Amino acid sequence: MANQQLQPPHMLCLSIDEVMKAFNGAKEKLLMMMVSSQQQDHQSITTSSHVPMLMMSATHDAMQQYATTTSTLSRYEDHLFQMQQLPFNADIQQLRYYNNSSGTLKIGEGDVDRSVRSKSEGNVHGINKASSSPRPKKSRKNESVKETMMVPAPLVGNTEIPPDDGFTWRKYGQKEILGSKYPRSYYRCTHQKLYGCPAKKQVQRLDHNPNMFEVKLRGEHTCHMSSTAPSSFPITQSSNTFSPHHLPASSTTSLPGWLSSANLNTLGGGGGAGAGGSSSSGPSASKYDADYLVADLADAMFNSGSSNNSMEPFFPSSKEDK
């Protein structure tokens, strides 16, 4: 296909290298100028007024490289966006894994002792709305957090949307949490109605790092056993029903959640019904992939250019209008 001709990961790496080289070159020039500026300190003040111009000149190459790379990235995002039509690409996976070396951090794995949901949950709609009888007793005693993950938020596009993990979720609540700046969102599996899938997750933006989400998973997906499970995406892995649940527990530590192949499994799943625009299951995973990719690159560029660890968006939001 035409997409394969681009070899985007390689192009991207090349561009990144070029940008880094350019920045480093500019940095060196800048240092040299500072040294020479100190040496010429006794000369007229007008010399120093040239420094900004020289700095601009020194960084000109870098900026040109940046512009080029931004353009490349933009095209690459488009490419990623189109990849939902393609078989799983090992290069992409490697690239994403590389970029995510500090991405998802699994910080705990509790007992998988999923609660026995004997109550009305899973049969929520058995509740007689019209009746004024009290709600059925809710029990959270046995609800244990299966695992907690730290997931990066996209820096471009809609950063308010929690990261896609390959499953479709329906938001059923949001709550202000004491001592937290950001509210916690509650999601349950979209297939809860149909298949009684008990999976739930909580998503909360970290106070100290708004670009990270803490995602707590509860329950296990049973819907992936069904025919509607997000497992039909053709991938060149050992199994075409690849999903997080098919991985050994330990592998979740080596395969970050946000780039798990399950992300790709739902590609092309289509909007279906509902408010797709702002739901966690709305945009395709590849859109997020592009977000993450650009975010990681931006971060890398920041870190390579200075010690500034700011997470401010670096790239023009060229894809905002998509």
Partner DNA sequence: AAGATTTGACCAGC
Partner DNA sequence: GCTGGTCAAATCTT
Q: Compute how many other C-beta atoms are within 10 angstroms of the C-beta atom of residue 56.
A: 11
**Residue 201 DSSP one-character state:** E
**Residue 56 and residue 3 in contact, taking contact as beta carbons nearer than 8 Å:** no
Q: What is the DSSP letter of 224?
A: G
Query: Using CB under 7 A, which of 67, 113, 118, 172 touches DNA?
Result: 172
Q: Which stretch binds DNA (CB under 7 A): 84-92, 176-184, 256-264, 295-303?
A: 176-184
Binding piece for DNA, criterion CB under 7 A, among 62-70, 77-85, 91-99, 170-178? 170-178
Q: Which CB atom, from 35 or from 127, has the smaller least distance to DNA? A: 127
Choice between 120 and 232, CB closer to DNA? 120
Nearer to DNA, 79 or 188 (CB): 188
Cβ atoms 215, 134 nearer than 8 A: no
Is 220 a residue that touches DNA (CB under 7 A)?
no
Footprint on residues 5-64 left by DNA (CB under 7 A): none
Residue among 139, 209, 240, 251 that touches DNA (CB under 7 A): 139
Q: How many residues bind DNA (CB under 7 A)?
A: 45
Q: Half-sphere exposure (CA, 13 Å, Cβ side) for 235?
A: 25
Q: Which of 163, 288, 152 is nearest to 209 (CA)?
A: 152
Question: Of residues 61, 78, 109, 143, which one binds DNA by CB under 7 A?
Answer: 143
- Binder of DNA out of 200, 205, 221, 224 (CB under 7 A): 200
Report the residue number, 96 or 218, with the smaller CB distance to DNA.
Answer: 218
Nearest-approach distance from CB 134 to DNA, in angstroms? 4
Q: Contact between 116 and DNA (CB under 7 A)?
A: no
The shares of helix, strand and coil residues in the chain, as percent rounded to the nearest 5, are: 40, 10, 45
Asked whether position 141 contacts DNA by CB under 7 A, the answer is yes
Among 65, 202, 243, 284, binds DNA (CB under 7 A): 202
CA distance 14 to 34: 30
The DSSP annotation for 123-191 comes to -GGGS-SS--SPPPPP--TT--EEEEEEEEPPSSS-TTSPPP-SS-EEEEEEE--TT-SS-EEEEEETT
CB of 214 to DNA, least distance (A): 11
Cβ atoms of residues 166 and 258 within 8 Å: no
Binding residue (CB under 7 A) for DNA from 121, 147, 164, 165: 121
Q: Say which DSSP state 203 is in.
A: E
Binding mask 263-282 for DNA (x = CB under 7 A): --------xxxxxxxxxxxx
Rounded to 5 degrees, φ, ψ at 70 are -60, -40
Contacts with DNA by CB under 7 A lie at 120-121, 124-125, 127, 129, 134-135, 137-141, 143, 168-179, 184, 186, 188, 190, 200, 202, 218, 271-282
